[in-house]
């Protein structure tokens, strides 16, 4: 009998998480399978009840459910409580436990690219569940200052109060400046739209986009054009997924297995997007 895991969100058809987890389970020698469960916002409570009824062992949680799912879980850990968002669920003794690995994925993505965040001025675009994890990660990294811009200013203010950061109106995003900018919204997902243009990105040294479809978003293309170091969202997805595997399996993959999963992850997105190895 195979244990069942999966990702819930809307949309999730584009998700590459099955690549990480199905290969990870295989490399760990576990009888487990991971799929995608597209769940409309209005169906979230019923979906969580279904998870319990079906005995699904674990979930990845993505947009737009990372915050609301907390209402339907039995227990969440201290970090998830502090962040206010959950991206990992474990079924244990018929209780659903919530965790957050997104913030670890963010930090490891910067670390892998040799970027130190300590004492840096960071701009975060967006104020949803992903932004909460990013801001938590920035605080852990001892950044000098974090500034949040969001279309709904009140949400930015709420984050500012929660994490002791700075909120600014969306209209002022064109004036944003700093050393690192992180795009956390869904803008650019399967489109050629960017939240800001190259004239804004020229004021930064490093740009990260949590969107990974396309792999090189317009946001990252603009950043590259003006000389920014760029970090794609797939790297963050990879590292947060590896942390999920640790939680679910209580096992750690060796470095050669991690390299294999990462290689397959990037190969799959290139296949999907019709990219060659030079891109």
Same domain, 82 and 185: no
Q: What is the pLDDT of residue 249?
A: 97
pLDDT at 279 (0 to 100): 40
| Residue 81 counted as domain residue | yes
Give the bridge partners for 31, in sequence order: none
The domain that holds 127 is classified in CATH as: 3.40.50.720
Active site residues: 66
pLDDT, residue 211, reads 93
- In this structure, the answer to whether residues 83 and 130 fall within a common structural domain is no
Q: 77-99: per-residue pLDDT in tens?
A: 999 999 999 999 999 999 999 99
Domain count, the chain: 2
Rounded distance between C-alpha atoms, residue 14 and residue 35, angstroms:
12
The answer to whether residue 48 is domain-embedded is yes
278 lies in some domain:
no
Which domain does 68 fall in, by range? 3-100+235-273
What's residue 224's pLDDT?
98
- On whether both 193 and 110 belong to a single domain, the answer is yes
Residue 274: per-residue pLDDT: 82
- pLDDT tens digits, the chain, 279 residues: what are they? 899 999 999 989 889 999 999 999 999 999 999 999 999 999 999 999 999 999 999 999 998 999 999 999 999 999 999 999 999 999 999 999 999 999 999 999 999 999 999 999 999 999 998 999 999 999 999 999 999 999 999 999 999 999 999 999 999 999 999 999 999 998 998 899 999 999 999 999 999 999 998 999 999 999 999 999 999 999 999 999 999 999 999 999 999 999 999 999 999 999 988 865 444
Residues 120, 181 within the same domain: yes
Judgement on whether residues 154 and 261 belong to the same structural domain of the protein:
no
Q: Is 279 inside any structural domain?
A: no
Regarding whether 72 and 124 lie in a shared domain, the answer is no
**196 and 245 belong to one structural domain:** no
Q: Which residue has the tokens 């969107």?
A: 211
The CATH number that applies at residue 67 is 3.40.50.10860
Instruction: State whether 94 and 57 are in the same domain.
Output: yes
pLDDT at position 278 is: 43
User: Which residues have a Cβ under 8 Å from the Cβ of 124 and sit 6 or more positions away?
Assistant: 131, 134, 135, 138, 146, 147, 148, 149, 165, 181, 182, 184
The predicted structure's pLDDT at residue 111: 98
Q: What is the DSSP letter of 237?
A: H
pLDDT of residue 13: 84
CB atoms within 10 A of CB 156: 24
Q: Are 205 and 163 found together in one domain?
A: yes
Q: What is the DSSP string of 131-150?
A: HHHHHHHHHHTT-SEEEEEE
Based on the domain organization, do 144 and 221 belong to the same domain?
yes
Q: What is the dihedral of CA 94, 100, 105, 108, to 10 degrees?
A: -110
Same domain, 158 and 69: no
Same-domain status, 126 and 188: yes
pTM: 0.93
pLDDT at 276: 52
């Amino acid at each position: 009998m195979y244990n069942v895991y999966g990702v819930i969100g809307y949309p999730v058809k584009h998700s590459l998480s099955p690549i990480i987890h199905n290969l990870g389970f295989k490399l760990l020698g576990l009888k487990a399978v991971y799929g995608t469960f597209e769940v409309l916002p209005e169906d979230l409570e019923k979906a969580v009840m279904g998870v319990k009824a079906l005995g699904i062992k674990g979930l990845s949680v993505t947009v737009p459910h990372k915050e609301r799912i907390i209402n339907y879980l039995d227990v969440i850990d201290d970090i998830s409580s502090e962040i206010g968002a959950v991206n990992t669920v474990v079924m244990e003794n018929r209780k659903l436990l919530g965790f957050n690995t997104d913030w670890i994925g963010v930090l490891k993505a910067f670390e892998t690219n040799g970027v130190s965040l300590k004492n840096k001025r960071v701009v975060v675009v967006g104020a949803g569940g992903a932004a909460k994890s990013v801001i938590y990660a920035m605080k852990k990294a001892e950044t000098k200052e974090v500034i949040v811009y969001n279309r709904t200013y009140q949400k930015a203010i709420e984050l500012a109060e929660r994490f002791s950061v700075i909120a600014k109106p969306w209209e002022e995003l064109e004036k944003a400046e700093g050393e690192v900018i992180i795009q956390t919204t869904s803008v650019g997902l399967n489109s050629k739209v960017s939240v800001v243009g190259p004239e804004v990105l020229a004021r930064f040294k490093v740009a990260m986009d949590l969107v990974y479809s396309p792999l090189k978003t317009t946001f990252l293309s603009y950043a590259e054009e003006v000389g920014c170091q760029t970090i794609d969202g797939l790297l963050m997805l990879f590292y947060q997924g590896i942390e999920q595997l640790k939680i679910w399996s209580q096992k750690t993959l060796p470095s050669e297995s991690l390299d294999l999963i990462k290689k397959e992850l990037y190969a799959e997105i290139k296949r999907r997007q019709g990219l060659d190895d030079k891109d």
